[in-house]
Chains A and B, each alone.
Chain A
Amino acid sequence: MKRSDAPESTSTPSGDASPPASAHEGQLVASPALGENGAVPETQVIGQTPASTRATRQALTGRAARELPSVSASPIQLTWRQLRKNRMAVLGGVTLLLMYAMALFAPFLAPYNPTNQSPGGQNLTFHPPMRLRFVDRAGKFSLHPFVYQTQQQFTEERDIIYPPVAEQPRPLRFFVRGSDYNLFGLIPTNVHLFGVDNGYVYLLGTDQEGRDYFSRLLIGSQISLSVGLIAILITFTLGMLVGGISGFYGGVVDDIIQRGCEILMSVPDFYLLLALAAALPTDWDPVKVYLLIIVILSFVGWAGMARIVRGLVLSVREREYVEAGRALGVGDFRLIVRHILPSTFTYAIVAATMSVPAYILGEAGLSFLGLGIRDPMPSWGNMLSTAQQLSVLERYEWILAPGFMIFITTLAFNFLGDGLRDALDPKSRKLG
């Protein structure tokens, strides 16, 4: 827990795992009494609301105070308690944390450079995954894993096969020096978690160009996982703003914006994605493409968000505190952004969490069709695109690995989002 909350921590302790900012949002929405203060900056909330709560609590003594547990728990804390009970949601959250940590440390965890076509010294295409072995030929067990090197051979059908050679065990070495990279994009280093001397280790095999699939999967996670998050941030901001303006002003402004949203929403999303992504020139550099894919994903998604927010704003704008703000001469924009929108945050955040998978799937789908992130940059979607060739699908099943990663990520997001919604919605709390 952050000590910066200290002044209010005695009366309204915020949830352990939640940063102050979200505690702030949670309070504003879930308890209308506190919400009356609108979205006034945090310092003021700290100054005002807890003071009144503290006064109430001081008036109560001993037993009476204990009978009011809801006073001592902030809404965010209630939500957290509720969420913690949902095992699948917690599991989802933990999985996501691990996934994102993995993406952050990807170049360190990956033994090779994801674009190197002969990471082990020679170019080996469609090399099958290697098994980590613990028992050597003599039947002796050791905790130190090793892999057998392989011998490239051609079958009569002219397929390439790689039978392992037992005479050439290569123990895994940890913290080895390999290809150069920048950790977090900042620290130049060449230390990798593991690797082998005089040979190669392909935990997930290699792809059609002989690149290490495990390294590509890890580096690819950086793109696949970040696209969803950044896109949802843009969608969220845009949707909030447009929805807020639309709902606040009503009338002609609302009509125009709503008709625009309707048109956007009347086109099947993926069709629009397809058409937009296909417009990207093929010779652009990968970073530019990456950024534009994010913009496209957000562009396609914001209308839905704007719709939801508009509906919420319509009801909020009639509240007294908005009226009061107006009477005090608060400008429209400030009123919308600082006072009205924060009270729609909770719903919007849940809606956002629930829709992250859609963005991840959108990127994966586009890249899969060759319209998104392009080779040699790896993304889970474009790695799978090789599997579209029937011969590859038939023989090299490890190519499907990124599909399972996408599946696990979306599953985790869905469990977390579902848990969040249940935790925030008192109605479903009852039903369980």
Chain B
Amino acid sequence: MLRFILKRLLLLVPLVIGITLVSFFVMQLAPGDYLDALRGQPQIRPETIERLRREFGLVENPTLWDQAKQYGRWLGNAVRGNFGFSFTYKIETFELIKQRLYYTFILSLWATVFSWVVGIPLGIYVARNRNKFGDRVANFVAFAGISLPGFFIALLAMKLAQQTGWFPVGGAQSVNYESLSQLGKIKDTGWHMILPVLVLGTRGVAGLMRQMRGNLLDVLSENFVLAARARGLAERKVLYKHAVRNSINPLITLFGYELSGLLAGAALVENVMSWPGLGRLLLESVQAQDLYVAMGAFVMGGVLLIIGNLIADILLAVTDPRIKFS
């Protein structure tokens, strides 16, 4: 088991390097650099810009060789744990990303928990009541849930918050956050998180419900279920001990996949609901051409995704004894 995980982790190294390469060159595609915005301001002297340029290690009109050198330098530093610093915030990229990553992580985590806790039981319910009224309604609602654009639900949620006042209108903290007790802080963040989690989780609930329904129906038509019933096992046991367990396995592989959608959805929802997460940071930094922050956020998103997939693989290996670690 440990060997399997280690091997997988080792395989991640070239993948992560690949991601950094992609992110660097994507960022280089944009014409100009961070200093362009400063150059436009007459009150900033050219000498200052020249000094900053040297400080940031930026080259005017870089050739491919310059870019390669810059990338090499960045990678060399990154390996040693130095991810460069933010031009805009004047702090270490790592510090900035750490905060933002935390927010995206808790948001995605709770959205996942929400969608599994609600989606799976719903899936079981509709599979058991196949083609009955509840199934049809749930099916339609699920389709609607899959089809609603995340940012649109986010807008609707914001409107709801505005009109009812039940929830905070965007953001992750109240104004008085710093003065709150430890418990109060957790409560406050939780309160701010309810709407974004619901918005992000909706799609997951719908998707998981449909998948679970399909899988369970497949499994229920298999011979071992028939055999279990023939042996006179209680329907509850047949369902929960045999059928449900077997139909959850394929969903675990979906988990890694879901994470990608979750992160993507989060990027938009974070922007609409002013949630200080990674996606928002990426948008801000990309627009400001804050090179190292953008790369950091980009790579972090990738790493999060890869780790999610890895966890899904490990979980699958744990739950399904037929899978050998190799």
Contacts and interface: CB of A to CB of B under 8 A. Distances in A.
Interface stretch (A35-43, A114-122, A404-412): A404-412
Nearest to B210: A418
B279 interface: yes
A415 interface: yes
B62 interface: no
Interface stretch (B17-25, B85-93, B186-194): B17-25
Interface string B128-164: 0001000000001001101111011001101100110
Interface in A257-281: 259, 262-264, 266-272, 274-276, 278-279, 281
Nearest to A431: B217
Given A268-B267, A271-B301, A411 B22 contact: no
B15 interface: yes
B287 A278 contact: yes
Contacts of B146: 410, 414
B149 A275 contact: no
A267 B301 contact: yes
Interface string A392-432: 01100100100100110011011100100000000000011
Interface stretch (A45-53, A58-66, A139-147, A362-370): A362-370
A259 B15 CA distance: 8
Interface stretch (A7-15, A174-182, A383-391): A383-391
A361 interface: yes
B268 A369 contact: yes
Contacts, number: 141
Contacts of B144: 407, 411
B211 interface: no
Nearest to B162: A394
Contacts of B156: 400, 403
Interface residues of B, number: 54
A270 B305 CA distance: 12
Contact of A268 (B14, B131, B263, B271): B263
Contacts of B148: 407, 410
Interface stretch (B26-34, B68-76, B115-123, B317-325): B26-34
Contact of A394 (B30, B159, B286): B159
B218 A431 contact: yes
A357 interface: yes
B272 interface: yes
Given A279-B29, A432-B131, A268 B305 contact: yes
Contacts of B260: 268-269
Interface in B271-326: 271-272, 279, 282-283, 286-287, 294, 297-298, 301-302, 304-306
Given A266-B306, A271-B301, A361-B149, A393 B268 contact: no
B155 A271 contact: no
Interface of A: 88, 259, 262-264, 266-272, 274-276, 278-279, 281, 357, 361, 364-365, 368-369, 384, 387-388, 390, 393-394, 397, 400, 403, 406-407, 410-411, 413-415, 418, 431-432
13 contacts: A268-B260, A268-B263, A269-B264, A270-B279, A271-B279, A271-B302, A274-B283, A281-B30, A369-B268, A390-B162, A394-B163, A411-B144, A431-B221
Interface of B: 14-15, 18-19, 21-23, 26-27, 29-31, 131, 140, 143-144, 146-149, 151-152, 155-156, 158-159, 162-163, 169-170, 217-218, 221, 260, 263-265, 267-268, 271-272, 279, 282-283, 286-287, 294, 297-298, 301-302, 304-306
